[in-house]
Amino acid sequence: MSRHVSTGKTRNKFLSTTATFILGAVAMSHSAQATEELNALVWCDHTDPALIEPFEEKYDVKVNLKEYEGTGAGLSIIEQSRPGDWDVFVIDGVDVHRAVEMGVLGEIPADALPTSDIFPEVVMADNNVVDGKTYAVTEKFGYNTISFDKTKVDPKDMEDMSVIWSDKYAGRIAVYDYYLPVIGLVGLGLGIDTADLGADDMPAIKEKLFAMKKVSKQVGEVVSSQTALATGEVDILVGGGEWITAVLSEEKPNLDWIIPKQGGLRWAQSIGVMKDSEKPDLALKFVQYIMSPEGQARLATSSCFWGMPANAKAGENLTDAQKAALRWDDQEGYLKNSQLYPIPDADLDAEMQDAWVEMLQQ
Amino acid sequence: MATASLEQRENRRAWGFVTPALLWTVAFFVIPFIVMAAISLATRKGREIVMAWNFDNYIEFFEKAHLLKGLFVSLEITFTVTIISVILAYPLAWIIAERVPQKWQRMALIMAILPFWTSYVVRSYSWLLVLAQNGVINNTLTYLGVISEPLELASTRTAAVIGFVHFFVMLLTLTIYANLVQMPPNYRRAAADLGANGFQVFWHVVLPLTLPGIMVGAFLTFVLCIGDYITPQILGGNNELALPQVIMLQLGRRADFPMAATLSIILMGVVTLAYIACARWLKMERT
């Protein structure tokens, strides 16, 4: 009897659990159907839930994010997708024209963007506007320059770019593994503006690249570069900046960065709506959210990497500590003393990459 | 007549079993390989990829020393790793097979392959922390007074080799162990009865009989090591580039698929040569 009752209870429990599970699944499926979806091809800083969830809740939408590194990789993903698969695209500011030429980005109504709130130096109309039409908007920027451990090197030495190829800190230097900004930095060190950098400058740049490789300990991507600097494996990071040190500002106050007297490189990422998006209105709302002061503050302090928000009004949503880590008050000087990435044509791009591989193989 | 029909039925059945695997191989290996080979004959004009149907990319590979060096770096690392792994794995497999009581052998094997259970990437980053300037090794040696200045271990070829060897010793231990336990003990007893000493038994009987296990393990090590991107990328510190790293560089910003495909075909050619050598050797051993 007891066994029978027990079996009955077990069966009832099993049935009720199954029913609950099925109902839950049906409810979830209903909820999934009711919720609209938006597909965004982004950099890792957009994958922070603290940034995306407020938008999802406000518009009852599920934002599917795919992270990529390198414009080539991003454009390849788009080429392998069907038209309409992607709604939003985050891209290196210097590559917006390339994406427009490929028919990837669609026009955005200029009056839908808070252009007047954006720091004038990073509006970058030359990059984001093609033939008078706006295709993207700068959402975040920062600097590729020199990060260092101020307790282990003389900060005065960091004011001169030539420190990156001198013997003084041999074996204590790491180099960020991205040829475009580092070649730009070496160019600045030689007195060549990024906008003027051409094939004729490459022999001199190569010579300094090789000299830099000789005194450097490693050339690595973001994580290994940051780890090397944070663990004391190296004391200087060429190509670093606030995006490497700001996120560590509380735990590692000994890490600092500087724009040398020759200048630094300014990186900027842009966001746009895909030309073939089937939800251009929702995609534009997403762009507007990212460009709003709230969205900008969250993007600036994303768990992946920090960087200055393009919208000056984002300052109202940042704490004093966050602003200090981003060097909010110093931006005027930094913006004046920094230049955009070089924008090489395909041939120069290939030559730069060859020089980079040649340097790595030294 | 009835026999022929039976044979036909058997043939059809055999094809029935083989066809799914064949289709899988055609769909996911043969067709992608043909596409990749075709792309390697394309060229880049500006940002566009144009089907040129020429061997310019292959010529460029052999003309540019920094690209060719990628292949040599890969080969040097791979041969070093394979040789060190065999030297370390053989005694380990022998100890497990011969010295560990049978009831503990399974446990010993599990212990040997335990590191397989952690993620490959996590394991590589862990090695970085062990080999770092203020990592476990340098701190221990400094504490013991063996060294006064930290050794440069991380971000070197040595670090990449250590990371690889840690992984492949386990693989080789398994293949050699499988060979050792299959060997009848009477062979060794017979050799000893005929007057061979311990070393002679090993050299003339045990080693030749376990060579197939060593060769299969060494070939797997070669293939997996030469095509690996993660370990040299994390542990090598980009101070030199192995071929898989050069391939990845082609794709990152410029999306130079023709050159990436060319380098991949060359890498595959090297692996195929290694396979042919290994297969010929194993065939010669059998005949």
CATH number of A142-266+340-360: 3.40.190.10
Which residue segment(s) compose the domain that B240 sits in? 68-286
CA–CA separation, B172 and B218 (whole Å): 7
Whether A142-266+340-360 and A35-141+267-327 are alike in CATH topology: the answer is yes
- Tally the domains of chain B: 1
Helix H or strand E segment including A175: strand A173-176
Q: Which of A327, A298, A294, A317 is nearest to A114 (CA)?
A: A294
In a domain, B215, yes or no: yes
Tens digit of each residue's pLDDT (9 = 90 or more) over A74-120: 998 998 899 999 999 999 999 999 999 999 999 999 999 999 999 99
Q: What pLDDT score does A20 carry? A: 45
Half-sphere exposure (CA, 13 Å, Cβ side) for B55? Answer: 6
Indicate whether B59 belongs to any domain: no
| Nearest beta carbon to residue A217 from set B237, B246, B251 | B237
Question: Which of A98, A100, A223, A361 would you mutate first to test chain B, the one with the most B CBs within 10 A?
Answer: A361
d(CA A26, CA A181) in angstroms, rounded, equals: 51
Name the residue ranges covered by the structural domains of chain A.
35-141+267-327, 142-266+340-360
Q: Does B163 touch chain A (CB under 8 A)?
A: no
In the chain, the amino acid numbered B7 is E
In a domain, B24, yes or no: no
Set of chain A residues whose Cβ sits within 8 Å of the Cβ of B246: 357
Confidence of residue A247 (pLDDT cuts 50, 70, 90): confident
Tell me if chain A has a CB within 8 Å of the CB of B234.
Answer: yes
- Classify residue B144: in a domain, yes or no: yes
Question: Closest approach of chain A CAs to the CA of B155, in angstroms?
Answer: 6
- Which CATH number covers residue B226? 1.10.3720.10
**Could you tell me if residue B7 is inside a domain?**
no
Q: What is the 3-state secondary structure (H, E, C) of chain B?
A: CHHHHHHHHHHHHHHHHHHHHHHHHHHHHHHHHHHHHHHHCCEEECCEEECCCCCHHHHHHHHCHHHHHHHHHHHHHHHHHHHHHHHHHHHHHHHHHHHCCHHHHHHHHHHHHHHHHCCHHHHHHHHHHHHCCCCHHHHHHHHCCCCCCCCCCCCCHHHHHHHHHHHHHHHHHHHHHHHHHHCCHHHHHHHHHCCCCHHHHHHHHHHHHHHHHHHHHHHHHHHHHHCCCHHHHHHCCCCCCCHHHHHHHHHHCCCCHHHHHHHHHHHHHHHHHHHHHHHHHHHHHHC
Tokens at A339, concatenated:
């230049």
Interatomic CA distance for residues A261 and B28, integer angstroms: 55
A231·B152 Cβ contact <8 A: no
Cα of B186 to nearest chain A Cα, Å? 54
d(CA B264, CA B66): 16
Chain A residues touching residue B131 (CB < 8 angstroms): none
The residue that leads in pLDDT, A134 or A251, is A134
| Among the listed residues A256, A270, A279, A337, the one whose alpha carbon sits nearest the alpha carbon of residue A299 | A270
* Closest B-chain CA to A215: B239
Confidence of residue A13 (pLDDT cuts 50, 70, 90): very low
- The verdict on B158 touching A (C-beta cutoff 8 Å) is no
Whether residue B20 is contained in a domain is answered as no
To the question of domain A35-141+267-327 being in CATH 3.40.50.300, the answer is no
A180 CB neighbours in chain B (<8 A) are 253
**Residue B246 in contact with partner chain A when CB distance is under 8 A:** yes
Q: What pLDDT shows up at residue B189?
A: 92
List, for residues B23-57, the tens digit of each pLDDT value. Answer: 999 999 999 999 999 999 999 887 788 999 999 99
In chain B, which residues have pLDDT < 70? 1-4, 284-287
The model's confidence at residue A147, banded by pLDDT at 50, 70 and 90, is very high
Contact in structure between A356 and A183 (CB atoms under 8 Å): yes
For A47-81, how does the pLDDT look when each residue is reduced to its tens digit (9 = 90+)?
999 999 999 999 999 999 999 988 988 998 998 89
Whether residues A361 and B66 touch (CB distance < 8 A) is answered with yes
CA angle centred on A244, ends A144 and B248, rounded to 5°: 75
Cα-based distances in Å from B101 to A245, B96, B194: 55, 8, 27
User: Is A218 close to B239, i.e. CB distance below 8 A?
Assistant: yes
Q: How confident is the model at residue A5 (pLDDT cuts 50, 70, 90)?
A: very low
Q: Is B281 among the domain residues?
A: yes
pLDDT at A304 over 90: no
Model confidence, pTM: 0.81
Q: Give the pLDDT score at B4.
A: 67
> Which residues 21-60 of B have a C-beta within 8 angstroms of A?
44, 46-47
